[in-house]
Amino acid sequence: MAVNVDTVASASTAGPRARWKYLDNILTRTGPFTDEDSFMPGEPAIETLDRAKVLVIGAGGLGCEILKNLALSGFKDIHVIDMDTIDVSNLNRQFLFRHADVGSYKAEVAARFVEKRVKGVQITPYCGKIQDKDEAYYMQFAMIVCGLDSVEARRWINATLVGMVDENNPDSLKPLIDGGTEGFKGQARVILPTMTSCIECQLDMHAPRAAVPLCTLATIPRQPQHCIEWAHIIAWEEERKDMTLDTDDPEHITWLYQKALKRAQEFDIPGVTYSMTQGVVKNIIPAIASTNAIVAASCCNEAFKIMTNANPFLGYPERENYMMYTGDDSVYTYTFEHQKKDDCPVCGAGNIARPLQVSPNATLQDFIDGLAERPEAQLKKPSIRTGEKSLYMQLAGLEEQTRPNLAKKMGELVEEGEELLITDKSFPTQFKYKVVFQK
């Protein structure tokens, strides 16, 4: 095929915006869905995109795609936070990294890679936890885009952004765009703090994996995962208790896999594989590069629309704010509006106590253990008190004083309808529940 030299030459000398011509086609004219009252085509839209400072949280499978997409969507000032270093297992889907980068911080390597490929973009990395930064740090950004694999981290940044909102300062409202994937499934959502439902409102959609009773593991397993958990929890302790299990050691994983496979064959249970053994033992969320790409693209499209108003975005007043993608059985996407909950402990109206089913015969220790698995709570290290007394506190001095309560029954410690105030050091929020005894 012949190449038109004149076309190539004109493209290379057409000025600094030649690279972004495909974006300018959208930003310099209205479209069929554009809100003409909020979209200012031409230089105003282009300058807004150029000046916008955006924070990306996470530089893993989703984060790599998000950083690349934002840079190629015209964002020039991007910051990224990630505390992890690069592992060999990341290289099959986190495409900004190479084998020589193993051991280096993800945020730094990803920032350098994208800056090198996309000229004119500045990416500032921070290698650490999101909890290291205060509200003043988050206040500088126009929006936050999350590519996290942790519900706990999502809840923390969500509560922080909701708490920052000052009704007298419109700039204090920072849109939060969140993406997540698991195998062939994914979701993208836009949260306008205090205006739309927040991550805490949607917490029950991310229920923790239920614990399997030891009796099931030891007697009659029903699923391949039960056989793997048996090898992990019971067989290892019986046969290799003098050796510390290293989940990154291939020999250890192979031993668990072989034990699990043999047990599965005894009970005629198919499906035990080496990769499944890795996933169960290390609690790995399965990841597929193409799913990451789809969800990251959705997140970045929403970021582009929010910043420029070129088209309505998820969460636009009185519109759907949640997009679900499923690719395990053909390809299906749909959007819906997740309703804001009045009793949400983070963004709810007032300080409403949520009803919480409690067994009066359960001990306080049982209740605390159950809080981690309850879809509406998911609190791993709670401190609990009523309006009058402390039931159990995690702080060093108070822990010893309140420890005797752990063996007492809930019916002895609280009354029907009494309010429980629960805090967890992982979240900048107080959770309020009303006790409802199970009959």
Q: Which residues are catalytic?
A: 215
Task: Please spell the DSSP secondary structure of 324-360, one letter per residue.
Answer: EEE-SSS-EEEEEPPPPPTT-TTTSSS-PPEEEEE-T
Residue 125: which H helix or E strand, with range?
strand 122-126
Q: Which residue has 């994937």 as its token pair?
A: 181
Structure tokens at 390: 């402390």
CA-to-CA distance for 320 and 188, rounded, in angstroms? Answer: 11
Contact 421, 385 (CB under 8 A): yes
CA distance 345 to 204: 13
Amino acid at 395: L
CB count in 10 Å sphere of residue 328: 12
Ramachandran area for residue 231 (φ above 0: left; ψ -120 to 50: alpha; else beta): alpha
Q: Which amino acid is at 373?
A: E
| Phi, psi torsion values for 109, nearest 5 degrees | -65, -45
Whether residue 333 contacts residue 324, with contact meaning beta carbons closer than 8 Å, is answered with yes
